[in-house]
Each structure stands twice: as C-alpha cells, then as structure tokens.
Structure 1
Amino acid sequence: MELVNRTEVSEFFLKGFSGYPALEHLLFPLCSAMYLVTLLGNTAIVAVSVLDVHLHTPMYFFLGNLSILDICYTSTFVPLMLVHLLSAQKTISFLGCAMQMCLSLSTGSTECLLLAIMAYDRYLAVCRPLRYPVLMTHRLCLLLAGAAWVLCFFKSVTETVIAMRLPFCGHRVVNHFICEILAVLKLACGDASVNEVFLWVGAILLLPVPLAFICLSYMLILATILRVPSTAGRHKAFSTCSAHLAVVLLFYGTIIFMYMKPRSKEAHISDEVSTVLYAVVTPMLNPVIYSLRNKEVKEAARKVWGRRWTSR
C-alpha cells in the first residue's frame, strides 16, 4: 500500500503566498531585483578573486566559495518562485521537488560550515599573523572547502531520500513557496521520526556548533585587536571582521528561527518570510557587504575593469 501511495505522487502544489495576492505583486519586482543583484554581485566577486593575483589568498578563496554557494543556492528556487508569483499554476514535479530540496539543503548547509571556516581563517590571520602563511596553506584551504561541500552534499542526499520515500496521503499542497523539507514532511502520513532525528542532529551540528565556534573565534579576535597599539591597525582589523560578522548574524539569526523552533503542524507566514530573509536577502547582501567595505576588492575590481577597457 505504501508503494502505491508513493508512486501516485507525481507533483506537488506550492501554496507560497497565493493567499496574499497583493504581497505576490510586491514580491515579484523585489525578488527579481534581489536575484539580479545576487547573480551580478557574486559573479563579480568570483571573477575579481580569480583574475587579480593579489587576491589569491585564503580569505578571498573562501569568499569566492561563498559567492558560488550564494549563486547556486538562490538559483535552486528563485527562478521557479518568480514564475509562480505570476502564475495560478504553482506546481512542481515529484522529482523536481526532490532535486530542489536536496540542492537547497546541500548549499545552505555548506554555507553554515563555510562561515565557520572563514571565522577560523580570520582568527589565524589576526591572532597568529606570523604563523598564518604556514598554518593556512593552499592545501588546507582546498581540504576545508572540499570537505564542507562533500559532507553537506551527502548529508542532504540522505535526508532527501529518507523524506521522499515516505508515503504521502491526502492533499499535495506544500505550505511554502519551495520544497522546504519541513513543509513537505507535514504532508507525510507515515512515521517521520527518523527524518526528525536526522534533521535535529543536522540542525545541531550545523547551527549551534558552528555558531559557537564563530563566536569563540571573534571573542579571541576582539581581544587581540584591543591589544593592537596602532589605531589604524585596529580599524583595519575591525573593518575586515565586522563585514563577516554582519553576514553571520543575518544568516544564522533567520535560519535558527526556522529550524530550531518547536515543530508545528500549522503553517505560518513568518516561516516563508524567514526563508526569504536568509535565502534571498542574505545572498544579495553578501557581495554588497564584502565589496563596499573592502578596499582590496574595490581596488582589484578597478584594475580588472581598467585592463578590460585597455585591451579593447
């Protein structure tokens, strides 16, 4: 019987903001603009980091990874969300839902680990400046970034497979604008206890643990900065680290509200607003925060742009 129920599911209906037509009309131009800024801004950071040899450092290697993650993350659902905002037919196939769930979980989880890795990189750069080139080698950068990508991908595949193998009974209406795993699990009529255990373990490992590590790193960074005799040196260190900290607070604040709050069978509009904040707004702000507050990035962008026009 379970197999029959499962094979009958061919598509889901993404309810999204369909109960708020005025909000849909407002969100379409806003999300379109934010998605465009996300694509252009993060692509520019990746291009500048690759083309300017002065930015071939661990900090900009991880920043490039973060930009690629933001592009991939938003692209897993924003294009379809924009189509659904203008359409009455808000459906997604079973396979499309599974792929969207897996890719969004994977890229979102990887960003959690990458932000912790970036905090560790800043800790070594500020607190261990003399040993920094020896400790944060190119090989270690590749190992840390690669491990984050691979581990989170396999974790997300496992969670998605377990979730989508559950029997789905009754209606197929997902109370969200994406195939968010918590929203899809509410439609399952089988035992979802295994899924809940996986999600809670994953949420604890990817949210409080990295956040605690980030907070510890920045406490040590702050203590080191305050001992710097030069005012200019303190200002430069604060400027570099505050940009990263702003991204961390915005990203973790909204995602912890989403995944660490008590489970509820009822859907709330606040869940979807929270998703918009950490899944659309944060990827847009990342390049803005890092580029506008970073003289090295702005100078590298001017050089790359200047070489491009000179070559013409």
Structure 2
Amino acid sequence: LEITITKGAETMTFVLSVEVLADDGLPVEPFIPGMMGSIPGEPPAAAFGTFGGLIIEEIERHNVFMGEGTEMIVNMSFPDASSLGADHVTLQYYDYSLSTWFDYMYAGVPLITSGDNFSLSFNGPMTLRLITSGVLTGNLTSNVVEVQYTNVDTYFAGWSLDESVYLTGIMFPYVGHGIFIEDVTVFDTDGVEVIGGISYQWYRLNPNTFETILIPGETNQLYITTIADLGYYLMVKVTGDEITVGGYMQIMSMNPVQLLNKGIVTDIDGAGFTLSMEYDVTMADMANLKIYNQDYLEIVGINIIPTADPAIYEIELDMLGATELHLELMTPTWMLGQKMFEYLMPGITVPLI
C-alpha cells in the first residue's frame, strides 16, 4: 500500500506492507475458484442383487459357558433385515470341497435373524455370507467375509476411537481429520490383562460393497485422512500376534470421509449473487443447492446458471425481505462450506444488511 502526503511544496511517500489475517490470526490464503481441481468420484456401487454390510467385529476366545475349556467366538454385524426390504437374513458358509454355498445350521435348522448381528462359536476357519428372504425384487447376497481360526486364549475387552478436531485441527468427517485408536485392552481367559502382542493396520471400507482396501504403510495408532479416502469409511484392524494375543478386532469410523468444498459469495444484488468454490462442481451436484433465509425458511424457485468456469455459478433468486442467506449443498462425498475462526464449517452464511 502506497501513501503520499503533500504539505506545501513538500511531498512524502510511504510504502506500507499490508497482510490480511483471518479470525485465527493466520494469513488469509488467496482464493482462486477451481484451484483444487475436480472432486474424485464416489466409491463403486454394489453389483445388482448384492449388498454390503457384513463385517467381522471380533474373533477371540472365551471360556465355555457352563462347561470346561475355551471356544472361539466370532462377533459379526450387518444391516437389519427391514433396512434391506427383507423378512430375515440367513447365514451361509462356502463348502470348498463341493464349490457351493450352504445354509449354516444351528440346532438342526438354518440360522436366520431379522436383527443385525450374530455371535457364534466356530472350531475352524469359515467363509461366510448372508442371503435375504422376502425381498420382492429377488433375494440379495451380502459381501463375503473370512473367519480365521485362533487357538490363543485371549479376548478383547475394550478400546476407544478418537476422531476429535484436536488431533489435526480439522473437524470430523472432513478430509484431513485424524482418527486415533487407543485404550485397546486384552485379557486372557483367566482374567489376566495381556500387555503387547497386537499390531494395527488401517483400511478403506467401501460403504456400498464393504470391500476393504489396505492402506500401505499405515500401521500406527493415528491415521490422518486424505483425499483418497473420500466417500469411504476408515477401519482399523487390531490383530494379535497369535503368540500372546489371538484373533483380531475391526473398528469402523462413524461416517464416511467427506470433502468440505470452501466457497465464497460475491456480486450480491437484488436478483442474486455469484457462488465460487475451491473445487470444480458439476451441474448435477449443484442441483442439491438449498438456500434459506434468516428464519431458515427455504427460498424456492432459485435458478442456477453455469459459467465457463465449472467452479463458478450465477445464482438467481428472489431475496425480497431476506436479511441473511444460508447456503447448503450436500452430496454423498462432499458439502459446501466455509472457514469460521480456525475450523471448517458446513454451509455458507451471507449477511445482506
């Protein structure tokens, strides 16, 4: 910034350096629409006639109830039958000698449930899936899971998964937030705590198929999400060394990772405004834009006009009587937002007076 002061015949010029700071005291980064490029696509959908959701939560050993010795217990969860449009689901196992699937029998009949979990004893490895019954469009089959056998007499007694903003400064569930697995507790079947003997591995988990994708090199307790995780759950597998600790447990994040596409609103007049975003956005995604007034009443009849830049859109709407606008845009993998103080926040608030 250059300032010139003239007094009589004397002129003095001063050059000042101006730095714009955000609410958190850090320099404001330049905003260039589309500077982050395109948003990656969503994880692959489930194939026709299939569904994802079957997951093994723990493989461990416990004392036999009202008996002697120990047994391997497998805890698994899945969507309840009603959420799949089914009456119930049946557990099946794969017979490798006959190359076919059979219903898993329990007390002489196929094991079925309308619920969302099984806790079963196995005496060896198994390959499992679920099949629905009562679906009008035809029965659905789940993803396949592998049960690995353990004969080490230990069980997992506790854990904690921290996804708080304090890990990286970025809020869950946005790209860049951290996930920390801690307080993993293991006991042997005599009730003595076992120290050590476990390892960690992070995976991406497709929410549609429940396919797991190993993330190479991510074997620490802390994982920091990246753009490659967009749309996926994160899952940590805690595995015993099969010497002091047996089996494993798998823990999923609460929600799939999302991207916060930062935007700004400019050129406001009585007929509308310009919306610019860091990432390019398709017209199909822009159709999810909703605008509310200061009373959170939705403003209907908005007109979204693309420009030559896929990160910039002209928005036409009737703002009569509005003193504030709230913009919301959410898709399965990203949402519109802004930075407030030091945090990324969903939505954009635009004061008009």
TM-score bracket, normalised by the shorter chain, equals: under 0.3
Instruction: Work out which structure has the larger RCO, using CA pairs closer than 8 Å and 6 or more positions apart in sequence.
Output: 1
TM-score under structure 2 normalisation?
A: 0.21
* Higher fraction of helix: 1
* Higher fraction of strand: 2
Q: Which has the larger Rg?
A: 2
TM-score under structure 1 normalisation?
A: 0.23
